Amino acid sequence: MRYAYFPGCSLSASAQDYDMSFRWVCRYLGIELQEVRDWVCCGASSAHATSHLLSVAIPAISLSHAEQDGFDRLVAPCLACLSRMKAANERFETDRALRKKINEVLEGGYRGTVKVFHPLEVLLNDVGVDSLGEKVAKRLPGLRVACYYGCALTRPPKVCRFDTPEYPMSMDGILRSVGLETLDWAYKTECCGVSMTLTRADVVVHLSHKIVRAAKEVGADVIAVCCPLCQANLDTRQGQIAEQYGERFDIPVLYFTQLLGIVYGAYSGELGLRRLIVSPQRALENYGIL
């Protein structure tokens, strides 16, 4: 199993713990990742708000590099990157005039042969839930997880073509396969505010408050996420939520890859657990993780 790997801006900076834990899990499971040569920012979210042409051309640069290096599969952990790249492929497939215009200036051109996947898709398609469960090294009995997918993983459906848009279960299935208890709750795909974290922090705090409170109400010990923007909003805003709403939740927000790394026996330092703002120590101390 070999993939071109597009870490994007977030996993190279603020979400290095996602990058660390995903790479560790892939090594453990025998999935080979090769970082895309000379990759560039996918353009989210400024490009598609400025120019449709630019929104397709920018991700096409990195996709073309992967294609030229012999890859037909690319994995992008960030939902913004994933969305922009899948959308670019969809436009390359359906808009010949746009495709020709971009290829006139794109060095080496792009034929649209690289399929783009999220890590959840990779684990389900190439490893499978049965094999994932067979490799568990450490059990976490009693740890209750609320899986939060965010609003972009499955939407728009015709572009993303993955899981059920309104009530996805892919992350739940993966974590359940390794012995974790995941919870049914109503906020799986509610928006956290995404990139408005800088321009409209008030909106982000409001939306994140609803999500974190809902997770607490169903008895979650931790929230599992699959997007660096979602993780940043739900993790870093809990202090502001406490100040504004008078409710302190202190629910750690972990990447699902960090949870997988834990049950597969990785050390906390290999998964970047100390980079979390809300410490997972209280939730995990009974399992000898930290």
pLDDT digits (tens, 9 = 90+) for 69-120: 999 999 999 999 999 999 999 999 999 999 999 999 998 999 999 999 999 9
- pLDDT over 90 at 194, yes or no: no
Tell me the percentage of the chain whose pLDDT exceeds 90. Answer: 91
- pLDDT over 90 at 265, yes or no: yes
Average pLDDT over residues 232-252: 96
Same fold across 2-119 and 138-287: no
Average pLDDT over residues 224-231: 97
188, 154 in Cβ contact below 8 A? Answer: no
Architecture in CATH for domain 2-119: Up-down Bundle (1.20)
Average pLDDT over residues 15-30: 98
- pLDDT over 80 at 280, yes or no: yes
276, 250 in Cβ contact below 8 A? Answer: no
How many CB atoms within 10 Å of residue 231?
A: 27
Domain segments of the chain as ranges = 2-119, 138-287
Average pLDDT over residues 146-150: 98
> Tell me: the pLDDT tens digits for 125-144?
999 999 999 999 999 999 99
How many CB atoms within 10 Å of residue 69?
A: 12
Average pLDDT over residues 156-184: 96
Q: Model-level pTM greater than 0.75?
A: yes
pLDDT at 290: 67
pLDDT at 112: 96
pLDDT at 198: 79
Least confident among 54-58, 194-198, 265-269: 194-198
Spatial distance between the Cα atoms of 195 and 197, rounded to a whole number of angstroms: 5
Residue 112 tokens read as: 């649209």
Architecture in CATH for domain 138-287: 3-Layer(aba) Sandwich (3.40)
- pLDDT over 70 at 27, yes or no: yes
